[in-house]
Structure 1
Amino acid sequence: MEVIEEIEYEGLSPNAGLGVHMAAGALAGITEHAVMFPVDSIKTRMQVFATSPAAVYTGVGNAFTRISSTEGMRALWRGVSSVIMGAGPAHAVHFGAYELVKEWAGGNVEGASNQWVATSLAGASATIASDALMNPFDVIKQRMQLHKSEFRSAITCARTVYRTEGLGAFYVSYPTTLTMTVPFTAVQFTVYEQLKTLLNPVGAYSPATHIVAGGLSGAVAGAVTTPLDVAKTILQTRGTSADREIRECRGMVDAFRIIWTRDGIKGFARGLAPRVLTFMPSNALCWLSYEFFKAAIRD
């Protein structure tokens, strides 16, 4: 009987090369964001303080039904071009930096006592680098996702924002984004690595491990950082708001004050359900894709 050699999926060297990690990260990032984009669009709309009753949604199902019936299914995909343009390079930088810093900090040494510290440091470092690249694309994406958005092209949106609000509009949310995504990524990577080791201690080929570990780590990280994501959305969409107070919002503290004043403590959980619904499957898909592409490119 012919014996088919099993691929050591997790047995691949962690030092597969920076180019391999970056290419795998880019492919994983595009896959993740493109698949879950409609849910992300719903999350953005639920987090905005809308002035029109037509743009106020009571839940994910309500938002999906109303948007698809009144604006068409295509509205849920508006802005995806910006994500595709930015997600590839940003995720390439993200995973490349993650693997580089993790190796440097000793996170690839089996049985090392500082493994969780190394993965947290690597995750945070990766986020700082990738967010600097992705933030402008995220601003464009959210402007296009809004109810009755005037933009149908990412390029047109970028030009308009730059002309009317200046370069700063693309980075006004960057400090808030970092405040959110550094802990998000640190939590995500730490939970992922710990669950992966717990579920698959022998390192055998196990896509199910990446799905479960990736999904749970994304759900946890997404839930705990939702308040910061609400503030980020307010800052990134302020230029399109008819509300003077929101248009004059200058940073995270101003955004938090607006959320608290208008909606109380529950305001910080706006979009929690679609955010978790986005990150749980998308993170599972991202890690599954990343590990797969890493192995495929390596081979």
Structure 2
Amino acid sequence: MCTDSTFSRVYFISKYKDSKTPPIVSLAAGGVAGGIEAFTSYPLEFAKTRVQLRSQKGILTPKNPFLVVTQVYQKEGVRALYKGCAALVVGSVGKDGVRFLFFDTIKHAFADSQTGTLSPLRNLAAGMTAGVVASITAITPTERIKTALIDDARNERRFRSGIHATKIIWQEHGILGLYRGFAGTTLKQASATAFRMGTYNILKDFETTRNIPQNTATNFANGSVAGVVTTLCTQPFDVIKTRSQSSHGARTVKAIKSVLIDYGIRGFWKGTTMRLGRTVFSGGILFTSYEAAVKIINPLYSGVKHTVGAKVEA
């Protein structure tokens, strides 16, 4: 005889299998979500990067991201707040498309056959793998260009645009110049993606098994919590990455030494408050946008696939 609990489990497993997101949908929805998240939260990313870059000794840097944004706006105008934004948006479209594609693929491949969910460790491992792949394919070069543009705007102003910065860096350092800070960036992305996507998926699995509705408010809250966890756990990697990718660049070991010389061990958490301001907001935006994009793109993809299949059979 089928009990209520047995029925609920069977229904959940069936629903989980039916809701498996096709790879092309994960890639497209992740790209859309990444672009939206990068553009809407960029001023806070700009402020965080400014604080992490080396400044004059003895001059205190503000911890309030909104104060930095206000000061830059007053002195340099609104365009300065979006310096390097195009590079980050392009990179975010690629990185989040790749991250969601690989995370969803790994998640479904290693999901428990009984519950359709992953253990917390498998969630983190899936996120870490997705982060490494994204760092190699998209994140390191675009982060290098974005950081170089922000750093260059403070002093030399050599770079006219992202394309111009890419050209100059390529001419001066070759392809390795675009991958300056690769170690720090990959460490950051592997850990950040593990904690961000792992935490989000752990929360989502927990809620789904307890029939908590997955709506916009829930998605935003889960994404924000994932952003807080990610920031606190990965801030040192973010600081090292920023120092490595300044306008002139620096090797990872040199970047670590410069942080210790300037601020001591506490320097590795420089910009935490500012990054928290961004990741809480951007985490909510990213996952809410992703879930919404999946709901829009999935039916379109299914319709096109069905139409093409019907024509082939005919």
TM-score (norm: length of structure 1):
0.86
Equivalent in the alignment of 1:94: 99
Q: Show the 5 A alignment for 1:169-208.
A: 169-200=177-208, 201-202=210-211, 204-208=213-217
Question: Which 4+ stretches in 1 moved above 6 angstroms?
Answer: none
Superimposed CA distance per residue, residues 114-137 of structure 1 (whole angstroms, 9 cap, x where no aligned partner): 522332221111111111122111
Counterpart in 2 of 1:257? 257
Alignment of 1:30-69 (within 5 A): 30-51=35-56, 57-59=61-63, 60-69=65-74
Query: Alpha-carbon deviations, 1:197-221, whole Å to 9, x = none?
Result: 3445315342111111100111111
Q: Give the structure with higher Rg (CA).
A: 2
Bigger shift: residues 62-71 or 211-220: 62-71
Query: Residue type of the partner of 2:236?
Result: P
CA distance in 2 between counterparts of 1:126 and 1:194 reads 16
Residue 121 (structure 2) aligns with: 117
Aligned-pair CA distance for 1:192? 1.2
- Secondary structure of 2:105's counterpart equals helix
Alignment of 1:96-245 (within 5 A): 96-106=101-111, 109=113, 111=115, 114-132=118-136, 133-146=138-151, 147-148=154-155, 149-200=157-208, 201-202=210-211, 204-237=213-246, 239=248
- Aligned twin of 1:5: none
Return the offset for 1:82: 0.9
More deviation in 229-238 or 193-202?
193-202
> TM-score of the superposition, structure 2-length normalised?
0.82
CA distance in 2, matches of 1:298, 1:183: 29
- Aligned partner of 2:5 in structure 1 is none
Distance 2:108 2:182 in 1: 27
The 1:266/1:206 distance shift into structure 2, 3 A limit, reads same
- Following superposition, the deviation at residue 52 of structure 1 comes to 8.7
Deviation at 1:112, TM superposition (A): 6.0
Provide closer, same or farther for how the CA distance between residues 20 and 12 of structure 1 changes in structure 2, counting only shifts above 3 A.
farther
Instruction: Give SS of 1:50's match.
Output: coil
Q: In the alignment, which residue of structure 2 is the partner of 1:288?
A: 288
Measure the CA separation in 2 of the matches of 1:162 and 1:150: 14
Change beyond 3 A, Cα 1:88–1:114: closer
The residue identity in structure 2 corresponding to 1:150 is R
Separation in structure 1 between the aligned mates of residue 230 and residue 169 of structure 2, nearest angstrom: 31
Report SS of the residue matched to 1:193: helix
Give 5+ residue unaligned stretches, structure 2.
Answer: 1-14, 300-314
Q: CA deviation at 1:165?
A: 2.2
In the other structure, the counterpart of 1:3 is none
Computed over aligned residues only, the root mean square deviation of the Cα atoms, in angstroms, reads: 2.3
Choose 116-125 or 225-234, whichever is displaced more.
116-125
Distance in structure 2 (CA, Å) of the matches to 1:58 and 1:189: 30
Which piece of structure 1 moves more, 75-84 or 13-22?
13-22
The residue identity in structure 2 corresponding to 1:194 is: I
**Residue 6 of structure 1 corresponds to which residue in structure 2?**
none
Specify the alignment match of 1:298 in structure 2. Answer: 298
Residues 131 and 192 of structure 2 are in contact (CA less than 8 Å); yes or no, is this contact kept in structure 1? no
Residues 199 and 209, structure 1, Cα contact 8 Å, conserved in 2: no
Change (3 A) 1:264 1:205: closer
Secondary structure (helix, strand or coil) at the match of 2:264 reads helix
* Structure-2 separation of matches of 1:76 and 1:31: 17
Is there any run of 5+ residues in structure 1 with no aligned partner, and where? Answer: 1-9, 240-246
Code of the aligned partner of 1:221: T
Shift of 1:96: 0.6
> Partner amino acid for 2:295?
A
8 Å contact kept, 1:101–1:121? no
Instruction: Quote the sequence identity (%).
Output: 24
Give how far 1:230 is off: 0.8
Question: Residue type of the partner of 2:122?
Answer: A
